[in-house]
Structure 1
Amino acid sequence: MTTAFDVRTLGSVVRVELHDSVDETDRERIRDQWVDLIEDGVEPDVTIRGTLDRSSLLDDANPAVSAASPEHLAATIATEVTLAGIAGLSGAALMLHAGGVALDDGRVIALVGPSGRGKTTATQALATTLGYVTDETLAVYPDGTVVPYRKPLSIGKHPETKTPVAASQRGLRDLPDAELRLDAIVVLDRRENVETPYVELLPLRDGLNEIVPQTSFLSALSKPLRTLVTTILATGGVRRVVYSEADTLAALVDDMLSAGSIESPQLVDVGVSVGDCGCEAKLNPLGAGETTTESDSTPLYQRKDYRDALSVDDSLVILSHNRVTVLDGLGPVLWFAAEDVTEAELVEAALREMPAPPEHVDPAQVVAATVGELIEGGLLVRV
């Protein structure tokens, strides 16, 4: 007899169907792991089947998973349910690989980190006194509103052996009776032998480098960099907490919420793209000159495919393949000028836009070296 139950997963309802190849006791155990999110009377958006018999998956139209043991199946179902919820919010919310806890007034602290960084342990330690929001995926709308996902906590040291455990079974606090809004983004940095744990404010560049790899479907947002940077600035900047033991984090909550604030930079949207669109009026504000006629053998330089670009004060932030690169100095000049131009024309753009170099410096050599770095970094291409 198949066991089926529906769970609220971020903005979606996911139905889990457990095949009768799973023992009845194990089916009930898996259902109990989701007891905090079970929702009745709502039509599901997605159905996921779980089985210990791979042959039962043949000709099945719904997403399905199989495993060699009930324990592995439970962990795999937890992953699939989470992925379904994330996909349901693709393009609508900023999604962080983060735990989350909430104060009584609804302020939420995001605890960001890759798998194995200690998100679940840190979240569990804090959620004994603060509201449990999530231990893995934090969804934030552009206005700062947080979508709770009180999923079973993933307990264990290795992803393949983690066991889902309902938050209520771990004694974690319920959500406050207040609107949830993101108030702090904290990167977890667990180290050995930290006698005095502390919180530090990161420069925007460092914060972006930490956060971008810990996002899902960032490129699906209409303005991914603008959305991410605005969210970071609204919280005062990315904090990093350096600690050894999770039970020391509760004493640092006030510091997480008030560890200074970075100065708001001037933001200018350069443009979003699925490739080098050649939109010269939009992407070449530096006014590079007309392309001169050269021999067909002369290489030309173009911007390589990218998703989004944002000017932040005098720097240029570029998002490509879910990786962020920050360019300063000569880098933005060459990137903007790279519209099917020769290296000689890039030198001309550099001389026009940058301060005059010292007499002993050869501009052509500097440009050549910088162009090489941009090519190596996947930002320019030679054609």
Structure 2
Amino acid sequence: MTPLPLPPLVVDAVGVRVGIDLSGLTPTDRDTVWRAWEDARVIDPAPAQVVVTPVSSDRDGQTLSDLSSRVTQAAIEARRGESWMLHAAGLAARDGGVVVLVGPSGAGKTTATRLLARSWGYVSDETVGIEPDGAVRSYRKPLSVITEGQGFKVQHAPRDLGLLPLPTAPLRVRRIVLLDRDPLHARARLVPVPAAEALVLLAPHSSALASMPRPLHVIMNALTRTGGALRAEYAEAEQLVDLVDDMMVADLHGGPTPDHTPSRAIVATPHPPSSRGGRRYRRGTVVDSYPLPEDRLAVLTGEADGRGTLRVLAGAAPALWRAADDATRDDLLHAATDGTPDEEAVRAVDDILEQLVEAGLLAVTIS
């Protein structure tokens, strides 16, 4: 009699039902994978949306390490264009409020999570999904721990580390915190991060950002909704305990901070186009733009694979970019100088136009 096929282990990864095909593993490896991923397992019988296949390895622990990467990549690809996916750790209060800890690899996210998630619900140590309405998608994967003498991150089941389950309340983002661990920090503290700086710092930690509809608006609305980004300056993970405790219990759902500009559409008001021929300027294709304080403008361009490049325009650049609607050089000089350009202003505008064209933010046609 032919044995029935082994059903996959289905886990929840930032809202994606990822199936882990256990059929090619030894019984011992199956048990290891099952135990490591038990805290992310989906209970209901609905089928997986995507399936990944782990590969057995002779090196103890390598199978789990490779599997963690496969599940993460499959989930990110499946959610591409749907939600803001931050390379971050997450901790949840009993009311569902989530503090998101953002930082590069080696910044101490997993170390902090191992400590803090003994008091607060473990959301993730790797990727946190934030929906446009502020809802949070968890990813309760095994914790990836850098271990001396190992060429890969060793995986530990959350429950084996004593980490807490999620609350029953729906998860919503409460605070977004940029980790700044440095032995030179004399004391731990939370420092507000200006809107433009937060946007620039968060973009590199966002997966497939350019695939999202209006991604800069999603990020800035999330920051405005939660009172703005904070920077946690600390020397040791233990110092984060009091900082996170304060954020979990405080009412941080007020209005926007002074650093934030309310979301609004970018409307170009170009000077009427000149009837003369020559070089004409048009805005290049961008994914999104967002006005920032001090008359600056954030502009995101994108690649086909979802990667993006974020630039913050300042000085005369925002006015020139907005006015570039089949505009001549004279039209743009008028827009940037209120119609009274001097020799120095002309040189400055020509230099900015050259940089905008080189960056792909402006396109030039010859008529």
Larger relative contact order, structure 1 or 2 (CA cutoff 8 Å, min sep 6): 2
Structure 2 residue 88 is the aligned partner of structure 1 residue 105 = no
In the other structure, the counterpart of 2:305 is none
In the other structure, the counterpart of 1:242 is 233
Structure 2 residue 193 is the aligned partner of structure 1 residue 197 = no
In the other structure, the counterpart of 1:85 is 75
In the other structure, the counterpart of 1:341 is 327
- Contact 1:286-1:336 at 8 Å conserved across structures: yes
**How far off is 1:160 after superposition?**
5.9
Flag structure 2 segments of 5+ consecutive residues without an equivalent: 303-307
In the other structure, the counterpart of 1:61 is none
Question: Alpha-carbon deviations, 1:18-53, whole Å to 9, x = none?
Answer: 454x4432332122110112235331111112224x
Instruction: Report the TM-score, using the length of structure 2 for normalisation.
Output: 0.85
- Structure 2 CA distance, aligned partners of 1:177 and 1:51? 35
* Greater mean alpha carbon deviation, residues 133-142 or residues 80-89: 80-89
Question: Alpha-carbon deviations, 1:245-266, whole Å to 9, x = none?
Answer: 1111001125546699622423
- Structure 1 CA distance, aligned partners of 2:245 and 2:50? 40
**2:351 counterpart letter in structure 1:** A
Structure 2 residue 315 is the aligned partner of structure 1 residue 311 = no
- Contact 1:19-1:51 at 8 Å conserved across structures: no
**How far off is 1:181 after superposition?**
1.3
**1:304 counterpart letter in structure 2:** G
**1:341 counterpart letter in structure 2:** A
Give SS of 1:161's match: coil
- Structure 2 CA distance, aligned partners of 1:368 and 1:157? 54
- Percent identical: 33
Question: Alpha-carbon deviations, 1:201-255, whole Å to 9, x = none?
Answer: 0110001011111112323332222211111100100101111211110011255
**How far off is 1:74 after superposition?**
1.6
Structure 2 residue 201 is the aligned partner of structure 1 residue 210 = yes
* Counterparts in 2 of 1:86 and 1:288: CA distance versus 1, 3 Å: same
Alignment of 1:35-74 (within 5 A): 35-40=38-43, 41-52=45-56, 69=59, 71-74=61-64
Structure 2 residue 264 is the aligned partner of structure 1 residue 262 = no
- Structure 1 CA distance, aligned partners of 2:126 and 2:154? 14
Give SS of 1:95's match: strand
**Selected match of 2:211 from 220, 243, 249:** 220
Q: CA RMSD in A?
A: 2.7
Structure 2 residue 13 is the aligned partner of structure 1 residue 9 = yes
- Structure 1 CA distance, aligned partners of 2:180 and 2:309? 20
* Counterparts in 2 of 1:372 and 1:87: CA distance versus 1, 3 Å: same
Flag structure 1 segments of 5+ consecutive residues without an equivalent: 53-66, 271-282
**How far off is 1:194 after superposition?**
2.0
- Structure 1 CA distance, aligned partners of 2:108 and 2:49? 31
- Contact 1:203-1:262 at 8 Å conserved across structures: no
**Selected match of 2:244 from 225, 236, 253:** 253
